[in-house]
Structure 1
């Protein structure tokens, strides 16, 4: 009896082992199929987007569809600065409703006067973008006095321009507050209305220094690197949740000759506020996602990896 019981037990164990092997084969096969499908989809998407990028890159600007800015309410932070002034001028000439935000009231009034001489109406608000309560308060004022914002351009920025140990602690904090944290407050203030409308445009003015660390820019490069991460993550969130009507554009220019980088001696000539602002307007009209200045930088910078 004992021998018979042992024999039956041995047979049962072997059957169990065979079933386990079959289940493992099934499970492994399903996993392999799933992985193969995911890889196939990924390769197809890579091919599609690479081809799309190549075609759009080679297509002349005049042949691409451009949206109108007429009547669009555009909030521009850092509107009194070099690039901000040029952007305000081009937006006004495109018949947009230009809303300038800057902490420098005197400089902002000069920009307003110059634009009004050309017959353009401009709305000015003295805003400290590092103060989220101040941002939210003025955002409400803009909605009441001008209208729901269609386009937000986060252009405000500062730089210290010293080596790491020579940067005062308060300047490190200030650079992060202006260059990146303010983006959170402005986007939080205006994005909900864009979502309700099902359309809108968020523009982040970053920098090539956010993609490639630069001498005397440990504070500035870090904040601009953060803007890229913030922008790309938000872009992914919006697309994942089906908000296809919200366009996002990030612009990464080389050093700009605005006074921010006075004393800097780069290897290439600095960009001018005029050419940077012109490129930004073109990017907005064409709903471009990713812009570098110069253009070839986006093909060269990945080599650093």
Structure 2
């Protein structure tokens, strides 16, 4: 086969560059429009929503809110009592719910869970990977067991759940995967070195997964992704928050965070921070050189002191 003339290749690349610019401009305009006119929240009354870490904190609050919207909520937690308490609250509010005890770090148990949920409840349409732990101390005071456990729950737990529930979503080209990252997954914080690493990993997993499906030869446009990056939420994980300007950087209550998470899922946002203004603050923060970022961090004076 004859090689394509150089002039033809140059013209082809030129048109490709023009087409790429037009697509970029369109996406920028669309984003600006959506900033002014947010998407209409989708109904979830026919969805089966599985939430890990549903036995307390934000997981419980999110479960209750989706149940009130008519969704069937599947509550997953290793803490059977807390999980059952969440289910009781759902039932008291006339909602539909199921509970399953599962250790998300056990891949085989997660695979069995997926089969059981599909058999007993139905195919999960929205997966919310919420389970996580947050030990808070200087990195040299972490034991090997603490770090391995943190990574198993915060990182591997996400991967096992995705491997268990994504195949069915791919088959029907429909589904929504939600991951709980953190502002600690967008910027480093003292006393949270392993935790920051795990939450950066969660964001990386979600970004890479979205790109992998985008490049999949199958039609995967029906599968959505949302990454949630909360600031300090008053769930009991943050024992010693240090906030210099409390009026500007206040601790967020679980109910308030849950409202924003549910709204983001229903509007199919790609990524949110809680509070929302931190999304833009963080982007501005990242424009500074590392030394400048540390100067701003010293001035803001926000972080977490060790738990023990």
TM bin, normalised by shorter chain, reads: 0.7 to 0.9
1:194-209 aligned at under 5 Å gives the runs: 194-209=169-184
**For 1:292 and 1:119, how far apart are their aligned partners in 2?**
31
Stretches of structure 1 lacking an aligned partner (at least 5 in a row) = 1-22
Tell me if 1:119 matches 2:100.
Answer: no
What secondary structure sits across from 2:272 in the alignment? strand
For the pair shown, the structure with the greater C-alpha radius of gyration is 1
Aligned to 1:274: 255
1:1-305 aligned at under 5 Å gives the runs: 27=6, 32-59=10-37, 64-241=39-216, 242-267=219-244, 268-303=249-284, 304-305=286-287
What secondary structure sits across from 2:242 in the alignment? coil
What secondary structure sits across from 2:179 in the alignment? strand
The alpha carbon displacement at 1:35 in A equals 4.8
How many residues are matched?
A: 278
Could you tell me whether the CA contact under 8 Å between 2:70 and 2:96 is conserved in 1? Answer: no
Aligned to 1:16: none
**For 2:18 and 2:185, how far apart are their aligned partners in 1?**
32
**For 1:171 and 1:266, how far apart are their aligned partners in 2?**
26
| Runs of at least 4 residues off by over 6 Å | none
**For 1:259 and 1:173, how far apart are their aligned partners in 2?**
22
RMSD between aligned alpha carbons? 1.9
The alpha carbon displacement at 1:168 in A equals 1.5
**For 2:232 and 2:17, how far apart are their aligned partners in 1?**
39
What secondary structure sits across from 1:157 in the alignment? coil
Could you tell me whether the CA contact under 8 Å between 2:56 and 2:86 is conserved in 1? Answer: no
The alpha carbon displacement at 1:197 in A equals 1.5
Instruction: Determine which structure has the larger helix proportion and give its number.
Output: 1
**For 2:160 and 2:34, how far apart are their aligned partners in 1?**
33
Q: Return closer, same or farther for 1:41/1:81 CA change in 2, 3 Å cut-off.
A: farther
The alpha carbon displacement at 1:34 in A equals 5.0
What secondary structure sits across from 1:129 in the alignment? coil
The alpha carbon displacement at 1:31 in A equals 5.8
Alignment TM-score, normalising by the size of structure 2:
0.85
The alpha carbon displacement at 1:38 in A equals 4.3
Could you tell me whether the CA contact under 8 Å between 2:52 and 2:129 is conserved in 1? Answer: yes
**For 1:262 and 1:143, how far apart are their aligned partners in 2?**
38
What secondary structure sits across from 2:145 in the alignment? helix
**For 2:28 and 2:234, how far apart are their aligned partners in 1?**
33
What secondary structure sits across from 1:258 in the alignment? coil
The alpha carbon displacement at 1:33 in A equals 4.2
